[in-house]
């Protein structure tokens, strides 16, 4: 399991037409879903006084869209199980395996971590004793890729995430800013070419300006790699800008409360966030979160109006 060239187009959902594939994609409806959860429940310390339900009966399907992919954001209050869902898909203990239900990726049931999935965490997870280049190529090294080839590919990814392959490649993590370290984590993930990219609040610790830059970077790279991205965030604005779909989660127990389709952003984050449609979507989503939190505060747990 991993963590997570220069951009040539403005970030956004709709890019230039994709090249014609050598073989036609399977007809719609026959292609396995990128990610599917079927009635997933996770209970810690079941049957003991410490029993705690993390998520209950979580089900959703994210299609594997050919030549495009999709970004799905997960939003909700702390403790609602967003990270639990992500780690279920990653196959990472102790969240995985589920107490009941099943997790499928690309048509196969998840039994543990796999090379088809890569994860970028909120915490800076670079190896302190390895250079930027050595960090980016770590997964390739583990796969037995020859040194010359992995260093060539590593420098290409360093450049693609906006770092300088000459100036930055031989730096160590302590010499980098937070934003630069997350670029390294993203490069390390994408170097392995995973079909599914899992991101657990990767920009949460960054300052606002750097966070917007990283959102633009993610969209540009997503358009290049055409992967499926599951992205956990506490930011409504981030969820709206990045998400083709937004899964709003509720707590007590953790569950999917809403599955909302978002309009496609067609410009950089700074420009998009001043557009009227963006504010309308943010306000709607914020109202939905407030309704969910109010329902959770009621003794009977009913949603009401």
| Of residues 135, 107, 53, the one with CA closest to residue 301 | 53
pLDDT at 300: 60
Classify the phi-psi angles of 81: left when phi > 0, otherwise alpha if psi is within -120 to 50, otherwise beta.
left
For 105, list phi and psi in degrees, rounded to 5: -125, 120
Compute CA distances 230 → 9, 50, 195, 200, 222, whole Å.
23, 30, 11, 8, 11
Which H helix or E strand runs over 54? strand 52-62
Q: Which helix (H) or strand (E) holds 258?
A: strand 255-261
pLDDT at 67: 86
Q: Which two tokens stand for residue 160?
A: 């693609």
Q: Which domain holds residue 166?
A: 127-175
Whether residue 72 is found in the same domain as residue 133: no
d(CA 176, CA 290): 38
CA distance 124 to 147: 25
pLDDT score recorded for residue 295: 78
CATH number at residue 57: 3.40.50.300
**Is the domain of 107 the same as that of 145?**
no
User: Could you give the number of structural domains in the chain?
Assistant: 2
β-strand pairing of 35-44 with 52-62: antiparallel
pLDDT in tens, the chain (305 residues): 444 333 333 333 333 333 333 334 445 557 899 999 999 999 999 889 999 999 999 999 999 998 889 999 999 988 899 999 999 999 999 999 999 999 999 999 999 999 999 999 887 678 899 999 999 999 999 999 999 999 999 999 999 999 999 999 999 999 999 999 999 999 999 999 999 999 999 999 899 999 999 999 999 999 999 999 999 999 999 999 999 999 999 988 899 999 999 998 889 999 999 999 999 999 999 999 998 888 777 766 554 44
Together in a domain, 203 and 163: no
With beta carbons less than 8 A apart as the criterion, state whether 54 and 82 touch.
no
pTM metric for this prediction: 0.85
E strand or H helix at 102? strand 100-105
Tell me whether residue 14 is in a domain.
no
In a domain, 157, yes or no: yes
In a domain, 1, yes or no: no
Secondary structure of residue 85 in the 3-state scheme: helix
The token pair at 87 is 């780690």
242 assigned to some structural domain:
yes
Residue 61 is assigned to a structural domain of this protein? yes
């Amino acid at each position: 399991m991993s963590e997570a060239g220069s951009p040539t187009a403005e970030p956004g959902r709709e890019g230039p037409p994709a090249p014609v594939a050598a073989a036609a994609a399977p007809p719609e409806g026959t292609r396995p879903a990128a990610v599917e959860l079927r009635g997933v429940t996770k209970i810690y310390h079941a049957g003991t006084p410490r029993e705690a339900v993390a998520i209950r009966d979580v089900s959703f399907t994210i299609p594997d869209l050919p030549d495009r992919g999709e970004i799905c954001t997960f939003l909700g209050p702390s403790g609602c199980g967003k990270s639990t869902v992500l780690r279920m898909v990653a196959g990472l203990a102790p969240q995985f395996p589920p107490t009941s239900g099943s997790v499928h990726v690309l048509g196969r049931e998840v039994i543990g971590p796999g090379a088809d999935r890569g994860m970028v965490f909120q915490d800076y997870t670079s190896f302190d004793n390895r250079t930027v280049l050595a960090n980016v190529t770590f997964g390739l090294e583990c796969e037995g890729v020859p040194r010359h080839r992995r260093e060539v590919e590593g420098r290409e990814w360093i450049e693609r995430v906006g770092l300088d392959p000459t100036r930055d490649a031989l730096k160590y993590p302590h010499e980098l800013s937070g934003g630069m370290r997350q670029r390294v984590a993203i490069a390390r993930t994408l170097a392995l070419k995973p079909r599914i990219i899992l991101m657990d609040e990767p920009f949460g610790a960054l300052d606002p300006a750097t966070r917007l830059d990283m959102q633009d970077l993610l969209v540009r790279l997503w358009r290049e790699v055409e992967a499926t991205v599951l992205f956990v965030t506490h930011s409504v604005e981030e969820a709206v800008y990045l998400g083709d779909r937004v899964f709003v989660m509720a707590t007590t127990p953790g569950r999917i409360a809403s599955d909302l389709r978002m309009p496609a952003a067609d410009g950089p984050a700074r420009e998009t966030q001043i557009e009227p449609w963006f504010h309308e979507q943010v306000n709607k989503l914020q109202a939905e979160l407030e309704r969910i939190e109010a329902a959770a505060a009621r003794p009977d747990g009913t949603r009401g109006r």
